[in-house]
Each structure stands twice: as structure tokens, then as C-alpha cells.
């Protein structure tokens, strides 16, 4: 059992705690977008954003981060592990989670939030255990990132799920979650995506001619991927194209890309950017790993996506979804990069069709809609 944490007072509470982890960038982006939307909706709220692992036992952090070993050295093994986590009732042994989360339970009890929002499945399991075994009185909200939901998201202690798509909602229902606890508001994205910027004006602002075709190459927030394979593919383009590479927080990757791209006119390399909504509004096409944040932001921008080099598990499932919904293509190998980019940039009609399909699935106001749903839950909790 967890340690007892004391009985909180019964005053009206307007505090929301958003739990995240720094695995990739999607969970943090969801958390920050939701925090901004909540404060915009109710400036009197107190919003705490915390990395759950920083408030857990140190050995548990090492355990939690160990996924990087098979992911880097043996992707096939990681694919098997991820599939097991996706389909089983828990991502790890509950006795281990129980021991690891004692300090997290004390941290949450000291804050005494009215609502706890979990943006990652393990944090949802930890918070659900606290409600189940300690009788913690916060309302629990789960936000699965991406277009599907691992089965362990299904916890009876969760009062509200905010999901990216109807497919996500159906997965949760199949796992035993009642539909009245699920709202397909979309995955929260930066409120800047709520309004689609004018393409011509945005291109001028970013230093491009309005009529020039622009390819965006993304490596996710952490800067992961195969840069040399991408460069080799793009060097085979049938005609020159304006290309912008955004490498995220990976400084080594940024430097490598600058060296690889320095002899190509019209190619630009950037690191981390805070105006992704503008780059996506300006671009004709994106080539990227299909991380959860990238996919939903591309949809919000109506940006056709060429998915390349997905990680085993949820990213490959995202590739299937992208092709099924007709919002982009899944490139299985680097040899497909040049033909796909050349064909689409030369076919305005096909690009327009992909863009229309993407906008059909766009939820650019997801953070604002999610904030409203949480405020309704907060009102009932008080």
C-alpha cells in the first residue's frame, strides 16, 4: 500500500495538475498546450505542470527510461514490448508502480489539486492507483497522445478521456471504458494552430516567395531519424525544391544536417522552433517521422504528410492510419523519397486532395475544447 498522506481540507479548489514525462516531445507539447488553454479559459486557475518521473524514486526513473536500450539496439524487441504494453492491462507490474510512486503520491497530496491530468499512459496508471488505494479525491483526466490508445489507459478511476479521433474512442470502448467518459475533442495542440495562417503572407514572413514550393523535413522534438538516408533521397529529386529541415532539440543532428545540406541552394536547416504552426501553414508537403504531435499538428494545418522511418508500435500504426484516411503516404524505404516528393509537388490536384482530407480530420481547437471539458469536470468536483 502507499503511505497515508493525510486528509485534505474541504475548501473549493481551483488547482489542476498536469502530469507528463519527457519521452519524446508529444506528451510535453500536449501538456503545455492544455495549460495555456486552461489559463486562457479561466485565469484564476492554478496550473501545475510536472514530470511525474522527477517526483518518483530514482531507480524507477532508470526503469522507466530503459525503453531506449531496445529501441536503439534492437528495434524488433522494442516492437514486441510495445505490442505487449499496447494490448495488456498494465504497462508494468503494479507492485513496482506502487512502490515507485510513494513520493509522487506525497507530492500530489501536498498540492491537493481538484483535477489531475495524465498525458502519458504510465502516469495515468500511477494516478489511478492513488485514487484506488488511497482514496485520493482529485478527478482524473486521461489524454492518450496519438491516434490510438494502449489498453492500460482503461482505468475505472478516470472520469474523463480526451481523445484524438473516433478510432481512439472505439479502442477505449473495446477496453471497457463507457462512452459517456470519452470526448473526441482531438489531441491538444498549441492554441496557435486554432487559426490557419494565410500561406502567402506566412511565406513572405519566413523569407520565401509565395509561389515557391516548399518541403518541410521534420525530425520530431528530440531530433530522431536517419538524416543521411533522407539527404540521399532528396538529392535525387527530379527538379530543385525549397527544403527546410527542422531538427528539434538535437544539436548534434542540427550540425550534421548543416554539413550535409551546405552545398544545396534553397535548403535551410533549423533547430528547435517555436512557430511550427507558421512553418506548417507555409509548406506544401512534409516528410517526417509520424510522431503523435507531428501528425495532429499536420492535420490541423492541412499539411499532407509523407511518413518515413516510423518506430515500431504506435508510429507504424499511425502510418496505417495516414494511408487509410488519405492524408499522406507511408514511405517504406529511402528509395521512395524522391519519386513521392517529385510526383506530389508536380501534381497540384493530388496535393489539394490530400490537404482537404487532412483538414477533414483537423481538430485545431482541441486544446480549447479540452479545457472546457476539464472546467466542467472541475465545476462538478467542487
Buried b (16+ CB within 10 A) or exposed e, 162-183: bbbbebbbbbbeebebeeebbb
> Alpha-carbon distance 75 to 81, whole Å?
10
* DSSP-derived secondary structure for 90-149: -SS-HHHHHHHTHHHHHHHHHH--SEEEE-SHHHHHHHHHHHHHH----EEEE---SSS-
Nearest to 142 by CA among 165, 126, 163, 173: 163
Residue 80, C-beta contacts closer than 8 angstroms, at least 6 positions apart: none
Cα 205 to chain centroid distance, Å, stands at 27
Q: Is the dihedral of CA 356, 358, 364, 370 positive or negative?
A: positive
With 0-12 CB in 10 A as exposed, 13-18 as middle and 19+ as buried, what is 113?
Answer: buried
Give the pLDDT confidence score for residue 17 in this predicted structure.
97
Which tens digit of pLDDT belongs to each residue from 270-288?
A: 999 999 999 999 999 999 9
> Alpha-carbon distance 100 to 153, whole Å?
19
Q: Which domains does the chain have, with CATH numbers?
A: 15-190+365-381 (3.40.50.2000), 196-360 (3.40.50.2000)
Please state, as a whole number, how many other Cβ atoms lie within 10 Å of the Cβ of residue 110.
Answer: 10
> Alpha-carbon distance 154 to 306, whole Å?
31
Give the pLDDT confidence score for residue 2 in this predicted structure.
46
Nearest to 280 by CA among 262, 296, 264: 296
How close are the terminal C-alpha atoms of the chain, in Å?
A: 28
Contact predicate 242/216, CB 8 Å: no
Residue 92, C-beta contacts closer than 8 angstroms, at least 6 positions apart: 63, 122, 125
Report pTM: 0.89
> Alpha-carbon distance 35 to 182, whole Å?
20
Give the pLDDT confidence score for residue 78 in this predicted structure.
66
Residues with pLDDT less than 50, the chain: 1-10
Amino acid at each position: 500500500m502507499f503511505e497515508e498522506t493525510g486528509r485534505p481540507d474541504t475548501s473549493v479548489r481551483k488547482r489542476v495538475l498536469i502530469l507528463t514525462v519527457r519521452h519524446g516531445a508529444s506528451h510535453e507539447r500536449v501538456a503545455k498546450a492544455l495549460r495555456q488553454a486552461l489559463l486562457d479559459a479561466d485565469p484564476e486557475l492554478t496550473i501545475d505542470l510536472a514530470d511525474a518521473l522527477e517526483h518518483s524514486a530514482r531507480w524507477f526513473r532508470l526503469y522507466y527510461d530503459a525503453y531506449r536500450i531496445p529501441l536503439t539496439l534492437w528495434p524488433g524487441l522494442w516492437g514486441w514490448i510495445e505490442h505487449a504494453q499496447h494490448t495488456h492491462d498494465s504497462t508494468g507490474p503494479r507492485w513496482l508502480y506502487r512502490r515507485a510512486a510513494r513520493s509522487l503520491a506525497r507530492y500530489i497530496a501536498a498540492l491537493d489539486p481538484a483535477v489531475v491530468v495524465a498525458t502519458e499512459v504510465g502516469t495515468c496508471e500511477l494516478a489511478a492507483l492513488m485514487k484506488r488505494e488511497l482514496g485520493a479525491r482529485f478527478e482524473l483526466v486521461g489524454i492518450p497522445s496519438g491516434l490510438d490508445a494502449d489498453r492500460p489507459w482503461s482505468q475505472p478511476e478516470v472520469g474523463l478521456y480526451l481523445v484524438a479521433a473516433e478510432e481512439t474512442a472505439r479502442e477505449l470502448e473495446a477496453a471497457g471504458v463507457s462512452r459517456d467518459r470519452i470526448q473526441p475533442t482531438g489531441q491538444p495542440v498549441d492554441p496557435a494552430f486554432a487559426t490557419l495562417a494565410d500561406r502567402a503572407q506566412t511565406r513572405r514572413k519566413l523569407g520565401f516567395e509565395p509561389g515557391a514550393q516548399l518541403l518541410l523535413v521534420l525530425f520530431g522534438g528530440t531530433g530522431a531519424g536517419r538524416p543521411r538516408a533522407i539527404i540521399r533521397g532528396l538529392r535525387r529529386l527530379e527538379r530543385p525544391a525549397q527544403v527546410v529541415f527542422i531538427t528539434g532539440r538535437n544539436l548534434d543532428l542540427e550540425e550534421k544536417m548543416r554539413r550535409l545540406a551546405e552545398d544545396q541552394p534553397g535548403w535551410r536547416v533549423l533547430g528547435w522552433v517555436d512557430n511550427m504552426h507558421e512553418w506548417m501553414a507555409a509548406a506544401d508537403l512534409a516528410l517526417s517521422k509520424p510522431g503523435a504531435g507531428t501528425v495532429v499538428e499536420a492535420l490541423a494545418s492541412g499539411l499532407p504528410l509523407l511518413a518515413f522511418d516510423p518506430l515500431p508500435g504506435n508510429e507504424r500504426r499511425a502510418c496505417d492510419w495516414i494511408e487509410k484516411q488519405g492524408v499522406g503516404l507511408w514511405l517504406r524505404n529511402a528509395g521512395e523519397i524522391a519519386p513521392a516528393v517529385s510526383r506530389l509537388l508536380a501534381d497540384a490536384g493530388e496535393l489539394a486532395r490530400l490537404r482537404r482530407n487532412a483538414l477533414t480530420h483537423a481538430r485545431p481547437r482541441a486544446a480549447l475544447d479540452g479545457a472546457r471539458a476539464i472546467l466542467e469536470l472541475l465545476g462538478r468536483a467542487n
